[in-house]
Amino acid sequence: MKTSGLKKLVIGAASLLLLSACGSNGATKDSETAKSSASSSETEVASGASEQEYTDPSELKDQYDIVIVGAGGAGMAAALSAKEAGMNPVILEKMPIAGGNTLKSSGGMNASETKFQKEQGIEDSNQQFFDDTLKGGKGTNDQELLHYLVDNSASAIDWLDGMGITLDNISYSGGASVKRIHRPHDGSAVGTYLVDGLLRNIHEKEIPLFVNADVKKINEKDGKVTGVSVKIGDEEKTINGNAVVVTTGGFGSNKEMIEKYRPDLKGYVSTTSEGSTGDGIKMIESLGGATVDMDQIQVHPTVVQDTGMLVSETVRGEGAILVNQQGERFYNELETRDNVSAAITALPESYAYLIFDDALAGRAKQVDFYKEQGVVVEADTIEALAKKIDMDADTLAKTLDTWNQSVKDKKDEAFGRETAMDYDLTTGPYYAIKIAPGIHHTMGGVKINTNTQVLKKDGSVIDGLYAAGEVTGGIHGQNRIGGNAVADIMVFGRQAGVQASEYAKK
């Protein structure tokens, strides 16, 4: 990729996260809103962080070996794998920046039997990872896809590490029986780190990446996919390809689709990128592609309602507790997301507070961002913190004393929590973040096999069409375990690149 042909956009990590956040009215952005936003790409957002570079639209060719629709983590992983296989891929992204929902990931990537786990003396196995995920998905996961995810997770960690994207800080996530979620070395949010690293490699390998490139249709002839129709600028073009990989993400920001499949979630705030509008699902359905689990929409328990900003599971994974307005714990904080969300919703006030101390804030670097955004209440003592959030001070102090004793005893008598009990909460100042559940992940999507080929309702494949990431369904069943979204996009994104390349060579 020649520098002269690049458009440059400087975007800081915080700005990236905010740029794709949904509004405070509790409704998600619809497709037209996303398209309107995507067309206003010339705005530069500067905050002194990493630089994103994109290929100039004038360099778009009529033919590529592989056309990849969507520049999130799965799309970039597919492109890099295709390039490794000797292909000439292109990435088309409808939004004005690359990254998609991957940018908003603040937790990490689940993987088992990794070299980093072994180095740190963490005992884990692929079978244990499989069992935890199957349990979290209530036994409804597509087990073939799940086995592929688990069995290839460690090699994905190695693949990333080989590109200078090192995830060696390992912690707990909800639903995991051991430390399994892999994060950047300093414990910071995985999303911006991952996107920065993938983009760096995309540039180094001179893979063209076009933004504001809105794919309208996947083209086919004689039963085989032949490329796409894309609107870029004011012009609609036909781009031919020997294979097409769809990595457009889910539909968490399409309120019509949310209400269609889950009317009970009408009005919920969403944490997803505003580009997550289900475009890929709809285009694949128009070709006869099957969908699965479309009503399985994950609600994340810890979302700031005013902004739709997700508070990472890492905060609980490092030892934070949840309390109600009365200052009492009410549930196991590290249970699966659906169960924790239900427990919060069942409270009289339908919200809760995350409570943690300064030592935890030092371990979970995401807290710095939450402070910058003004959602963290801080006080020197627990009693002072209680006063600031209109909570009974004696009750909150007693709750913390009980919790700290539970950590010391390594036994949570009240709610049976068994993980993330390595640190007590005794180091002032103390912090609180008010949260409630919000839409976070659409677990349903198009049906694929372990080769990431898109399937029709009769089980046959659509020749030349592949899909990976949140656009697909079946892997997570009825509940996604925290840390499995990044695993999904990396493992299946790589596989899509490999398999599409094999097909394109025929």
- What is the structure's pLDDT at 51? 59
Instruction: Give the containing element (helix H, strand E) for 299.
Output: strand 297-304
> Which ranges in the chain are annotated with CATH 3.50.50.60?
57-296+443-505
Catalytic positions are 337
pLDDT at site 107:
87
Report field, pTM of the whole predicted structure over 0.85 = no
Report the SS3 class of residue 49. coil
The residue among 67, 422, 465, 488 whose CA lies nearest residue 239 is 67
**Which class for 457: exposed (0-12), middle (13-18), buried (19 or more C-beta within 10 A)?**
exposed
Q: Where in the chain is the domain with CATH 3.90.700.10?
A: 300-438
**CB atoms closer than 10 angstroms to residue 50:** 17
Rounded to an integer, what distance in angstroms lies between the CA atom of residue 416 and that of residue 448? Answer: 38
**Looking at the domain that runs over 300-438, which CATH code has it been given?**
3.90.700.10
Buried b (16+ CB within 10 A) or exposed e, 438-448: bbbbbbbbbbb
Model pLDDT, residue 8: 41
Q: Any idea what DSSP says for residue 104?
A: G
Residues 392-440: tens digit of each pLDDT: 999 999 999 999 999 999 999 999 999 999 999 999 999 999 999 999 9
Tell me the CA distances in angstroms from 77 to 68, 305, 316, 484, one per residue in order: 10, 32, 29, 16
Say which DSSP state 95 is in.
S
- For the chain, residues with pLDDT lower than 50 are 1-50
Question: Which DSSP category does 480 fall into?
Answer: P
**Count of all residues that appear for the chain in the document:** 506
Q: Cα–Cα distance between 206 and 322 in angstroms, integer?
A: 47
Distance CA 182, CA 180 (A): 6
- DSSP character string of 212-274: SEEEEEEEEETTEEEEEEEEETTEEEEEEEEEEEE-----TT-HHHHHHH-GGGTT--B-S-T
Domain 57-296+443-505, architecture per CATH: 3-Layer(bba) Sandwich (3.50)
